[in-house]
Structure 1
Amino acid sequence: HTVAKVLVVPGVAIAQEFYLGVVLDRPNRRVLVMASAEGGVDIEEVARERPERIVRALADPLLGLQAYQAREIGFALGLPATKVTGFAAIAQQLYATYMAEDATLAEINPLVLTEAGEWLALDAKMSFDDNALFRHPDLEELRDLAEEDATELEARRAGISFVKLDGSIGCIVNGAGLAMATMDAVKLAGGEPANFLDVGGGASADQVAKAFGLVTADPRVRAILINIFGGITRGDVVAEGITEALSNVNVPVPIVVRLAGTNADEGRRVLAEAGLTAVETMDEAAAQVVSSAAAR
């Protein structure tokens, strides 16, 4: 890892370290505030090995994190009464920041109590919901592009959802849910997906061409699976987009196409005329692409 910046801060005389975090509790559909007297360490490790050391409180969807809840967390951590008020104020402020900034995570680790009896946030982390960034242009300006994958940035500019993985099977799919299912099918067939890629509902020639470029930029990709379900978008239109894209982009690895849905038969005919065979089922496509990758 290349270090681009170094942050230097004054030393602190630490009396005690705590963890304080706010996260979305999906099973309960509520915002969860968590705290632990074991700060400065990986909270996942604490949750796994010493779950009783984590104090939790669910915030009310309408009223938010109430002052009494924040105080209860402080007392549960074993804080003296004189320090609970300061802790509770920080907890409520962290919750308010989480909500105001459309965050998916906001944590202070460690939150320390100094030997002078003061509260200090020595390290903090926030993750934001990308879908809400249009409401926060100030946050968008804080992106450190040097810390992000260049291929993922290129995909983002093209309006394609792309996440690079460690496998050898490139995936080009229309629809996020179908993309997830495609990766599962590849793994079930004995392969490893090289990426998550949702080309979008239209799967136009330009989008497909861009998708090919993104996938083949990874030298580990040994075969590509195109999995398209024609719903609102017709299968023959998608097939024409694929063939047009292939006429403009050099793809040096085998391609397996699964095409289903509206006008799928016409789409398979278009692909056959271009020298591509499209299978009907996802399992068949996954098995075929894994076999093609293994043969290289």
Structure 2
Amino acid sequence: MKLHEYQAKELLARYGVPTPEGRVARTADEAAEAAEALGGKVVVKAQVHAGGRGRAGGIKLADSADEARAAAEELLGTRLVTFQAPQGQPIDAVLVEEQIDVARELYLGAVIDNAAGMPVMIASAAGGMEIEEVAEEHPEQIHRQAIDPITGFQGFQARALAFATGLDGDLNRPAVALIQGLARAFRENDGSLAEINPLVVTGDGRLLAVDAKFSIDDDADYRRRDLVELRDRSQDEALEVEAEDAGIQNYIKLDGDIGCLVNGAGLAMATMDAIKFEGGEPANFLDIGTANDPEAIVAALRIIGADPEVKAVFVNIFGGLARTDVIAEGVVQAHAQGLITQPTVVRLAGTNVEDGNRILDDSGLELIRADGFADGAQKAVQAASGAD
């Protein structure tokens, strides 16, 4: 779950991370009032879950309250299209902050390093740009310190990152405190990503988190209820929200045109690989799990069928605890209700497969039957191509 910039800054401030003075505004008048309170010279920043806001016109300078009002009017109620969100994200709020005299821009972040099996703090003197670009073009400018899950993040590690990014002298002590604060915030709030970019050294020698991102591990929602309440569902993919409301926790919208209904995360990933191997593109990831209830299958197919990009559906089931006859019944009901109009490829194997196949045979539906995994992927790609 992602936080907005202003929410991330409020969270980090509780851990001693300094941020610019600012206020959230949801109307143009509120933006003008915020600018007036902040002295007039402000930055008006669209609050969306996407990077690249500056390049996309989502960050505007204003030298007066009237200019701040005009900037907010231009942003609020529109959709910001960025390289991370080509479909556009709705702008329902802006953050109005004091303008900062920037002397240097740095990068500081915390992420989960799957290769190391632990979180890692990352720092770079090359801030204000996409860290992926820095890592690719100037890897020597990326500095890392692992956060051991037993001993935690140590002071000497924070000092190492500070010195590596040129934060020495009078800046060293506040830099170490800021780095440690970010590490604590990340760990104590089940972070999956925490990022300050840029971390700014101001003209008068202060450190400020001018921009901030914070994402929370979805599996920790049950113990981070206070943060979950901050979630802005308007920023999420609409079909994913609909799936969640229907009790489907493992649906992820993708860019392809072959809808996938699969049981088991491993089989679901293998199914997507098989589709790509055959030259197709999956439209979603969906692990239906042990769904021994036709209504659960109907709900999942309703989501898949509602995706306008889907040209074919591939139901790939290997029943263990999941009963293929229940899956088949759900497929039949979804088609009977008109929820799936796209060509549908069905491959069943495992528990009660004879009953499952009989249900499909007796339904009279024009389903495309597959004899195996690879056969099903091939037929799904062919069906999607034929729908063009």
Could you tell me the TM-score, scaled by structure 2's length? 0.73
SS of the residue 2:374 aligns to: helix
Paired residue for 1:210?
A: 299
Paired residue for 1:142?
A: 230
Q: Which amino acid in 1 is paired with 2:272?
A: M
Superposition RMSD in Å? 1.5
Paired residue for 2:98?
A: 10
Q: Which amino acid in 2 is paired with 1:226?
A: V
Question: Are the counterparts in 2 of residues 166 and 192 from structure 1 also a CA contact under 8 Å?
Answer: yes
- The offset of 1:277, in angstroms, is 5.2
Q: 1:16 to 1:116 in 2, by over 3 A?
A: same
- The offset of 1:149, in angstroms, is 1.8
- The offset of 1:34, in angstroms, is 0.6
Matched, 1:87 2:175: yes
User: Following superposition of structure 1 onto structure 2, how do residues 252-291 of structure 1 map, counting pairs within 5 Å?
Assistant: 252-275=341-364, 276=367, 278-291=369-382
Q: 1:272 to 1:11 in 2, by over 3 A?
A: same
SS of the residue 1:172 aligns to: strand
Q: 1:203 to 1:293 in 2, by over 3 A?
A: farther
Q: Which moved more, 1:128-137 or 1:233-242?
A: 233-242
Q: Which moved more, 1:101-110 or 1:78-87?
A: 78-87
1:51 to 135, 139, 155: 139
Paired residue for 1:236?
A: 325
Q: Deviations over 1:209-248 (max 9, x none)?
A: 1112111112221111001110112222322332233333
Question: Are the counterparts in 1 of residues 292 and 323 from structure 2 also a CA contact under 8 Å?
Answer: no
- The offset of 1:200, in angstroms, is 2.6
Q: Within 1, Cα distance between the matches of 2:296 and 2:325? A: 16
1:248 to 316, 321, 337: 337
Paired residue for 2:270?
A: 181
Paired residue for 2:257?
A: 168
Q: Which moved more, 1:233-242 or 1:31-40?
A: 233-242
Paired residue for 2:123?
A: 35
Q: Within 1, Cα distance between the matches of 2:202 and 2:339? A: 61
Question: Are the counterparts in 2 of residues 32 and 57 from structure 1 also a CA contact under 8 Å?
Answer: yes
Q: Within 2, Cα distance between the matches of 1:277 and 1:218? A: 20
Percent of aligned pairs with the same amino acid: 47
Matched, 1:64 2:152: yes
Paired residue for 2:187?
A: 99
Q: Which amino acid in 2 is paired with 1:210?
A: A
Count of residues paired in the alignment? 296
Q: Which amino acid in 2 is paired with 1:79?
A: L
Q: Deviations over 1:46-100 (max 9, x none)?
A: 0010000011111221111100110111111222232111111111110111011
Stretches of structure 1 that go unaligned for 5 or more consecutive residues are none
Paired residue for 2:107?
A: 19
Q: Which moved more, 1:278-287 or 1:98-107?
A: 278-287
Question: Are the counterparts in 2 of residues 75 and 81 from structure 1 also a CA contact under 8 Å?
Answer: no
Q: Deviations over 1:242-281 (max 9, x none)?
A: 2233333442111110111222233222212223454231
SS of the residue 1:19 aligns to: strand
Paired residue for 2:31?
A: none
Q: Deviations over 1:20-64 (max 9, x none)?
A: 001111111121011000111100000010000011111221111
Q: 1:250 to 1:30 in 2, by over 3 A?
A: closer
Question: Are the counterparts in 2 of residues 18 and 112 from structure 1 also a CA contact under 8 Å?
Answer: yes
Q: Within 1, Cα distance between the matches of 2:307 and 2:323? A: 30
Q: Deviations over 1:118-150 (max 9, x none)?
A: 111101001111111111111111111221122
Q: Which amino acid in 2 is paired with 1:108?
A: I
Q: Within 1, Cα distance between the matches of 2:149 and 2:384? A: 49
Q: Which amino acid in 2 is paired with 1:255?
A: T
Matched, 1:201 2:287: no
Q: 1:147 to 1:250 in 2, by over 3 A?
A: closer
Could you tell me the TM-score, scaled by structure 1's length? 0.95
Question: Are the counterparts in 1 of residues 334 and 340 from structure 2 also a CA contact under 8 Å?
Answer: no
Question: Are the counterparts in 2 of residues 209 and 248 from structure 1 also a CA contact under 8 Å?
Answer: no
Paired residue for 1:159?
A: 247
Q: Deviations over 1:157-181 (max 9, x none)?
A: 1221211122111111112221111
Question: Are the counterparts in 2 of residues 37 and 77 from structure 1 also a CA contact under 8 Å?
Answer: yes
Q: Within 2, Cα distance between the matches of 1:172 and 1:60? A: 38
Question: Are the counterparts in 1 of residues 119 and 146 from structure 2 also a CA contact under 8 Å?
Answer: yes
Question: Are the counterparts in 1 of residues 112 and 193 from structure 2 also a CA contact under 8 Å?
Answer: yes
Question: Are the counterparts in 1 of residues 105 and 201 from structure 2 also a CA contact under 8 Å?
Answer: yes
Paired residue for 2:310?
A: 221
Q: Within 1, Cα distance between the matches of 2:335 and 2:292? A: 13
